[in-house]
C-alpha cells in the first residue's frame, strides 16, 4: 500500500485541487480532487443499458446513500427525446441490484456502500424534492442521432433514497442507457 499526504485547496476558477506529497509518483503531484479520489479508491460507477423503451414508458434507478456524503453525477444517453428527473427523499422498494465498480482497478475494492437498483418500485410523493427536471433532446426523423443529458453534480445527503427517472417522450420505442458516477468520502 502506498502512502501519501494530501493538501486540499481551490484555485481562482473555484476548481478544487489536491496536492499529493508521497511515494505514489515519487514526489510532489498536483491533481484535481476527482482524480485524487479515483486514486484513493473511493470513486465508483454503476451503469445500465436499458434497451428499447416504449413511448411514454418510464424506467428508473434508485440509489440509497450510506452514512457518508456521496458526490454523484449521472449521465443519461437516449436514442430519442426523453424527460429526465432526479428526486431526493424518494420512497424506493425492491428493484434489481446494479453492481458498482471502483475506478481504481489496481488498489480499489468494489465494495461501495451506496446501493443502486434498476427499475425500482418507487412512488412520487409530496415528501420528495425534485432536484433536476430536464428534457433530453434526441432528434427527430428516421436518422435520429440521439443525445446525452448530464445531470448536474450533487453532494447527496447521508442515508437518503434518490430516484433518477427517465421517460421516453419520442413518439416511438427508443434505446436508452444510464450511468451513475459517485464518490464515497468522509471529507
Positions of the chain with pLDDT lower than 70, given as ranges: 1-40, 107-108, 123-125, 139-149, 151-152, 186-187
| Co-location of 145 and 94 in the same domain | yes
| Co-location of 4 and 67 in the same domain | no
| Co-location of 35 and 111 in the same domain | no
Distances (CA, A) of 103 to 5, 15, 34, 46, 109: 21, 21, 11, 10, 9
Could you tell me the CATH number of the domain that includes residue 117? Answer: 2.60.120.510
Q: Where are the beta strands (DSSP E) in 107-146?
A: 115-118, 121-123, 129-136
Instruction: Give the tens place of pLDDT for each residue, 19-51.
Output: 555 555 555 555 566 666 666 677 889 999 988
Instruction: Kindly report the backbone phi and psi dihedral angles of residue 37, in degrees, each rounded to the nearest multiple of 5, phi listed first.
Output: -65, -35
Q: Are 180 and 46 in contact (CB under 8 A)?
A: yes
| Co-location of 96 and 14 in the same domain | no
List Cβ neighbours of 14 (8 Å cut-off, separation of 6 or more): none
Q: What pLDDT, on a 0 to 100 scale, did the predictor assign at position 49? A: 93
User: Which residue range forms the structural domain that includes residue 158?
Assistant: 44-184
Amino acid at each position: 500500500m502506498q502512502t501519501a499526504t494530501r493538501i486540499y485547496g481551490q484555485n481562482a476558477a473555484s476548481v478544487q485541487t489536491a496536492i499529493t506529497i508521497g511515494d505514489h509518483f515519487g514526489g510532489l503531484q498536483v491533481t484535481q480532487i476527482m482524480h485524487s479520489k479515483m486514486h484513493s479508491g473511493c470513486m465508483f460507477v454503476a451503469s445500465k443499458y436499458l434497451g428499447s423503451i416504449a413511448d411514454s414508458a418510464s424506467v428508473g434507478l434508485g440509489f440509497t446513500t450510506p452514512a457518508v456524503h456521496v458526490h454523484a453525477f449521472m449521465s443519461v444517453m437516449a436514442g430519442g427525446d426523453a424527460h429526465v428527473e432526479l428526486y431526493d427523499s424518494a420512497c424506493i422498494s425492491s428493484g434489481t441490484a446494479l453492481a458498482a465498480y471502483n475506478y481504481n482497478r489496481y488498489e480499489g475494492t468494489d465494495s461501495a456502500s451506496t446501493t443502486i437498483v434498476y427499475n425500482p418500485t418507487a412512488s412520487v410523493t409530496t415528501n420528495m424534492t425534485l432536484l433536476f427536471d430536464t428534457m433530453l433532446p434526441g432528434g427527430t426523423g428516421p436518422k435520429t442521432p440521439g443525445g446525452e443529458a448530464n445531470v448536474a453534480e450533487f453532494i447527496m445527503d447521508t442515508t437518503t433514497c434518490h430516484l433518477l427517472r427517465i421517460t421516453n417522450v419520442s413518439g416511438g420505442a427508443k434505446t436508452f442507457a444510464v450511468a451513475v458516477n459517485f464518490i464515497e468520502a468522509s471529507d
